[in-house]
């Protein structure tokens, strides 16, 4: 408990007196209690004066959690400025019911299928030297709106002929359209980079195979970062041809 109180001293300038005192009570209670952590259980385990209604008011407040997380992690990461990379991932928490905000069906890697629950997008700072992760930003992922089933209409499937369609033009592959997940991650990265400033040397962004495509690469490069990911199993990777031209036919572009 003493270590927790010492760490929370750096949060004092970011919070008002009431919120800071309540945060101390909540953090110490959550470390001491057993069983499921809910607002009701926190109020029962907390010291006198922290009622269930006080717990409700505390969690209803708009608290800059990202700034608080960065304030705690900054003293430990500042000395390893050249060994820090940004990592992101989505996590799913199974939950039943109907009244929870953002409740939907999300893919869970643990169950290898879509399960009912809530999902969160997380950005962390990884120290490659000490192999420690510091979660900084967490945002909830909202489920996709339900689409009405289209009425079946008899449409003849016409096969496209061989070759390039007439009138088609070359596309700029750097001008991409981002999906909802990439748009959310891009917004979070901008917020994180603004928060960090010049304290750390920001170069690489790590994500799983969901970002192993051109749109994710362009999104990352727009922020001045390099993406570390893996290609999907249906990706086609080509290398540029650097050989000697034989003098016959069209010059090769790819190997």
pLDDT digits (tens, 9 = 90+) for 199-226: 888 789 999 888 988 899 999 999 999 9
Q: Among 63, 79, 105, which residue terminates a domain? A: 63
Of 112 and 96, the structure prediction assigns the larger pLDDT to 112
Report pLDDT digits (tens) over 146-182: 777 665 555 666 777 777 788 888 888 888 899 999 9
Domain count, the chain: 2
**Same structural domain for residues 94 and 184?**
yes
Domain containing 112 equals 64-144+174-255
Query: What pLDDT, on the 0 to 100 scale, is given for residue 47?
Result: 82
Contact criterion met (CB below 8 Å) for 241 and 254: yes
The pLDDT, as a whole number, for residue 153 is 57
Element (H, E) at 255: none
Give the CA count within 13 Å in the CB-facing half-sphere of 172. Answer: 5
Return the pLDDT at 109. 85
Statement to judge: residues 82 and 120 lie in one domain: yes
**What average pLDDT does this structure show over 188-192?**
95
Q: Are residues 42 and 107 in the same domain?
A: no
Answer for the pair 141, 132: CB distance below 8 angstroms, yes or no: no
Mean pLDDT (whole number) for 98-123: 89
Q: What percent of the chain has pLDDT over 90?
A: 45
CA dihedral 112→113→115→118, nearest 10 degrees, is 70
Other CB atoms within 10 Å distance of the CB of residue 77: 21
Mean pLDDT of 5-18: 85
């Amino acid at each position: 408990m003493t270590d927790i109180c010492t760490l929370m001293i750096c949060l004092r300038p970011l919070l008002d007196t009431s919120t800071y005192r309540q945060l101390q009570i909540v953090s110490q209670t959550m470390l001491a209690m057993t069983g499921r952590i809910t607002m009701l259980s926190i109020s029962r385990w907390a010291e006198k004066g922290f009622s269930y209604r006080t717990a409700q008011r505390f969690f209803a407040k708009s608290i800059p959690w990202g700034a608080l997380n960065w304030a705690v992690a900054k003293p430990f990461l500042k000395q390893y400025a050249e060994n820090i990379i940004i990592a992101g991932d989505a996590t799913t928490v199974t939950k039943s019911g109907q009244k929870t905000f953002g409740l939907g069906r999300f893919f869970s890697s643990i169950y290898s299928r879509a399960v009912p629950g809530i999902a969160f997008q997380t950005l962390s700072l990884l120290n490659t030297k000490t192999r420690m992760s510091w979660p900084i930003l967490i945002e909830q992922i909202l489920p996709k709106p339900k689409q009405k089933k289209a009425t079946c209409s008899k449409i003849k499937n016409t096969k496209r002929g061989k070759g390039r369609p007439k009138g088609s033009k070359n596309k700029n592959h750097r001008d991409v359209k981002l999906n909802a997940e990439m748009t959310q991650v891009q917004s979070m990265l901008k917020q994180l980079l603004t928060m960090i400033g010049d304290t750390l040397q920001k170069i690489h962004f790590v994500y799983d195979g969901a970002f192993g495509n051109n749109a994710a690469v362009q999104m990352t490069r727009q922020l001045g970062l390099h993406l570390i990911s893996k290609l999907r199993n249906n990706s086609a990777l080509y290398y540029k041809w650097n050989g000697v031209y034989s003098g016959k036919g069209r010059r090769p572009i790819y190997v």
